[in-house]
């Protein structure tokens, strides 16, 4: 989810009347025993040279040729496995304010398309049974499943309350679900403030969980009714109980935590310790810091408990895209969080926020395949590919080829050719290991073909561009020196035959 509340509110279609908070239930009831879970794939939720897919985008269709979105994803499980996808990030699977809500305007986190609430049983993506079938299909192909966890706020309250003389929508009673899975109810005492509608700003009755930090780029009030975690043990325990419940209910292999820079950081750590713990499940957080220092500081504040999306690297790709040939390709050298903290970085090119029409974060619209070649051949980072790039923007075949190269050749020590690279030409190699031959990546954002002499790790070798972008072979001498060509505005991955 985007980090700007006004934009988010419009995306989640948070209407004026029924959006916000609710009262403080004194005790949190543990969920009732859920139905049998779909078995997770395994204890280690990151495969060797694994590739994650974000399996949705903003406003995915409610009906596809395969049925609902859950049915659509499930039907693609076999082809995704064949294409090299090892994990799937699902959208928020719980009930929002209507049948069209994309899930970030979350109303009831225990309703996975099972109860008649907000005018619908199904969520935008389908019913609980269809969701479980989707997870089963993905697991059946060895694809791990990560769920999108929205813990910052609730929206679309069931009733108003009077708070210090102001009528606000803050009461959540979940009449369609009742006490199934949890008897916890929410009211204004559970929140620090709420977003007034329409366009009346925020009404606050408690201190925000934290004051702005990172030069004001991280702050509490994002969207809807802001859940209080600092000093509210009941809220914390309930959200932890929910995390454990949905993990079991769906047989999850990991989590994508939404908008964590807006959530009280000690609670994020508490939740990760209590839900993810030492299970081997994976977690990545959306802490949307464009500044690398801020992202590194957040990694320190969360103590390495969660991976983080490499937002600074996305902006590097955007700069390359916006330059459209004029950007200096040496900016790719040692770039982003992926190089600063390799073990915690999830690299990506675009996502549901950057791709959204009118988004504050514009997409990587030019030279996008160069960016994918970069993240999919790199030694560091856990790459995430975007469903829309794969299926709707025509990049699927090329991405699959790069994933195949990653799985066959993406091994061994890495090297940046700082003395070779220039404003248009970028080269990077993996030396390979005892059973894998390695690779030489070459990118060119210029309009003309380029060739450069490079001392590679491959001695007395004949190499082929495994992407098929450049025909023929090249040879290296006893020192590994050879001439490595690449077409204009293109990419090549040269591998020893």
β-pair type (52-54, 384-386): parallel
Asked if residue 302 and residue 434 are part of one domain, the reply reads no
Range 77-97 average pLDDT? 98
Tokens of 151: 């813990």
Residue 203: φ, ψ to 5°: -115, 120
- Is 287 in the same domain as 418? no
Q: Which of 105-119, 323-337, 345-359, 450-464 has the weakest average pLDDT?
A: 345-359
Q: Which residue has the tokens 């994650």?
A: 52
Q: Which tokens sit at 169?
A: 């929508």
Tell me the two tokens of residue 58: 């903003």
Euclidean distance between CA atoms 497 and 480, whole angstroms? 14
Residue 432 lies in a domain: yes
| Separation of alpha carbons 342 and 131, rounded Å | 33
Asked whether residue 322 is domain-assigned, the answer is no
The residue with tokens 């499943």 is: 145
* Residue 425 included in any domain: yes
Six token digits for residue 249 = 């209910």
Kindly list the distances between the CA atom of residue 291 and the CA atoms of 119, 160, 334, 463, in Å, as whole numbers in the listed order. Answer: 42, 40, 15, 39
Residue 169: predicted pLDDT = 94
Take residue 381 and report the two structure tokens written for it. 């980072």
267, 291, 309 — which closes off a domain? 309
pLDDT (tens digit per residue) in 390-403: 999 999 999 999 99
| Beta carbons within 10 angstroms of residue 370's beta carbon | 23
Q: Which domain holds residue 119?
A: 5-309
Average pLDDT for 263-291: 97
Question: What pLDDT score does 359 carry?
Answer: 61
Based on the domain organization, do 424 and 277 belong to the same domain? no
User: CA-to-CA distance for 73 and 66, rounded, in angstroms?
Assistant: 9
Query: Looking at the domain assignment, is residue 470 inside a domain?
Result: yes
Quote the DSSP letter at residue 32. P
Whole-number pLDDT of residue 47: 87
Portion of the chain with pLDDT greater than 90, in percent: 88
Helix or strand holding residue 300 (H, E): helix 292-301
The catalytic position among 148, 226, 286, 465 is: 286
DSSP class of residue 357 equals T
Can you give the CATH number for the domain in which 468 is found?
2.60.40.1180
Q: Does residue 415 carry a pLDDT above 70?
A: yes
Same domain, 303 and 434: no
Cβ proximity of 349 and 374 under 8 Å: no
Q: Does 421 lie in the same domain as 272?
A: no
> Taking Cα atoms as reference points, which of 349, 452, 468, 352 lies closest to residue 402?
468
Q: Is 173 a domain residue?
A: yes
Q: What is the pLDDT of residue 356?
A: 82
Instruction: Find the distance separating the first CA and the last CA of the chain, reported in whole Å.
Output: 44
pLDDT above 70 coverage of the chain, percent: 90
pLDDT band at 330 (very low <50, low <70, confident <90, very high): very high
Asked if residue 113 lies in contact with residue 123, where contact means CB atoms within 8 angstroms, the answer is yes
Given 289, 309, 329, the domain boundary residue is 309
The two tokens of residue 186 are 């929410």
Please indicate whether residue 445 is annotated as part of the active site. Answer: no
197-255: pLDDT as tens digits: 766 789 999 999 998 999 999 999 999 999 999 999 999 999 999 999 999 999 999 99
Say if residues 458 and 475 touch (Cβ distance below 8 Å). no
Q: What is the mean pLDDT of residues 461-485?
A: 98
Instruction: Indicate if the pLDDT at residue 375 is higher than 50.
Output: yes
Query: Catalytic residue at 286?
Result: yes
Structure tokens at 144: 């791990």
Which residue, 290, 309, 328, sits at the end of a domain? 309
Question: 25: pLDDT confidence band, cut at 50, 70 and 90?
Answer: very low
Bridge-partner residues for 213, per DSSP?
218
Number of domains in the chain: 2
Q: What are the helix (H) ranges across 97-213?
A: 128-140
CB atoms closer than 10 angstroms to residue 497? 9
Label residue 84 exposed, middle or buried (CB < 10 Å: 0-12, 13-18, 19+).
buried
Q: For the segment 9-23, what is each residue's pLDDT rounded down to a tens digit?
A: 333 333 333 333 333
Within a domain: 343: no
pLDDT of the residue at 28: 31
Residue 196 pLDDT:
81
* Pairwise CA distance, residues 360 & 362, whole Å: 6
61 preceded by cis ω (within 30°)? no
Residue 36 scores a pLDDT above 70? no
Stretch (H or E) spanning 391: helix 387-391
CA dist 155 and 315 (Å) reads: 31
Task: Return all residues near 434 (Cβ < 8 A) that are at least 6 apart.
Answer: none
The two three-digit tokens of residue 329, written as one number: 């390709």
Q: Are residues 299 and 436 in the same domain?
A: no
Residue 6 Cα distances to 224, 231, 274, angstroms: 10, 27, 32
Mean pLDDT, range 117-127, rounded to an integer: 98
Task: Give DSSP secondary structure letters for 36-77.
Answer: PPPPPS-S--S-TT--EEE---TT--S-BTTBSHHHHHHHTH
CA count, 13 A, side-chain hemisphere, 232: 27
Strands (E), 164-312: 166-171, 186-187, 191-195, 202-204, 225-227, 254-257, 282-285, 307-309
440 membership: H or E segment, kind and range: strand 439-444
Q: How many whole angstroms separate alpha carbon 1 and alpha carbon 150?
A: 9
Q: How far apart are CA 293 and CA 55, in angstroms?
A: 29
The pLDDT score that the predictor gives to residue 362 is 79
Q: Which of 101, 111, 148, 258 is catalytic?
A: 258
Q: Is residue 126 part of a domain?
A: yes
pLDDT tens, 41-66?
554 668 899 999 999 999 999 999 99
CATH number at residue 117: 3.20.20.80
Does any domain span residue 395? no
The answer to whether 20 and 203 are in contact (CB under 8 A) is: no
């Amino acid at each position: 989810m985007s980090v700007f509340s006004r934009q988010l509110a419009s995306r989640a279609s948070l209407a004026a009347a029924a959006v916000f908070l609710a009262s403080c239930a004194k005790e949190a009831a543990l969920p009732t025993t859920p139905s049998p879970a779909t078995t997770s794939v395994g204890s280690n939720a990151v495969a060797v040279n694994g590739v994650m897919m974000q399996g949705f985008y903003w406003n995915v269709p409610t009906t596809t040729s395969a049925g609902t979105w859950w049915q659509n994803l499930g039907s693609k499980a076999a082809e995704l496995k064949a294409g090299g996808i090892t994990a799937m990030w699902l959208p928020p699977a719980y009930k929002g304010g209507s049948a069209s809500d994309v899930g970030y305007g979350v109303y009831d986190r225990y309703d996975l398309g099972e109860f008649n609430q907000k005018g619908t049983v199904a969520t935008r993506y389908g019913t609980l049974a269809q969701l479980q079938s989707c997870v089963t299909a993905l697991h059946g192909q060895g694809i791990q499943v990560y769920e999108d966890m929205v813990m910052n706020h609730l929206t679309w309250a069931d009733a108003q309350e009077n708070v210090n003389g102001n009528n606000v929508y803050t009461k959540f009673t979940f009449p369609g679900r009742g006490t199934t899975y949890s008897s916890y109810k929410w009211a204004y005492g559970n929140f620090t403030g709420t977003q007034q509608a329409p366009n009346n700003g925020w009404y606050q009755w408690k201190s925000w969980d934290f004051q702005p930090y990172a030069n004001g780029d991280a702050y509490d009030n994002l969207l809807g009714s802001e859940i209080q975690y600092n000093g509210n043990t009941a809220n914390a325990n309930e959200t932890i109980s929910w995390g454990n419940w949905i993990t079991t209910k769906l047989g999850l292999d990991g989590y994508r935590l939404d908008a964590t820079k807006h959530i009280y950081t000690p609670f994020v750590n508490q939740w990760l310790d209590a839900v993810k713990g030492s299970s081997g499940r994976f977690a990545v957080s959306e802490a949307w810091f464009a500044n690398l220092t801020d992202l590194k500081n957040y990694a320190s504040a969360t103590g390495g408990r969660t991976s983080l999306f490499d937002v600074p690297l996305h902006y590097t790709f955007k700069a390359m895209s916006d330059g459209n040939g004029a950007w200096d390709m040496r900016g790719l050298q040692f770039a982003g969080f992926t190089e600063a903290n390799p073990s915690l970085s999830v690299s990506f090119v675009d996502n549901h926020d950057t791709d959204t029409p009118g988004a504050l974060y514009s997409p990587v619209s030019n030279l996008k395949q160069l960016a994918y070649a970069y993240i999919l051949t790199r030694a560091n980072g856990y790459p995430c590919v975007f469903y829309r790039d794969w299926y709707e923007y025509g990049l699927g075949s090329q991405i699959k080829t790069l994933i195949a190269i990653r799985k066959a050749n993406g091994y061994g020590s890495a090297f940046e050719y700082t003395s070779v690279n220039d404003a248009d030409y970028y080269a990077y190699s993996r030396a390979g290991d005892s059973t894998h031959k390695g690779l030489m990546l070459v990118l060119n954002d210029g309009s003309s073909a380029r060739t450069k002499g490079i001392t590679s790790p491959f001695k007395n070798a004949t190499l082929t561009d495994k992407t098929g972008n450049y025909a023929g072979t090249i040879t290296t001498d006893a020192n590994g020196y050879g001439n490595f060509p690449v077409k204009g505005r293109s990419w090549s991955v040269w591998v020893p035959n």
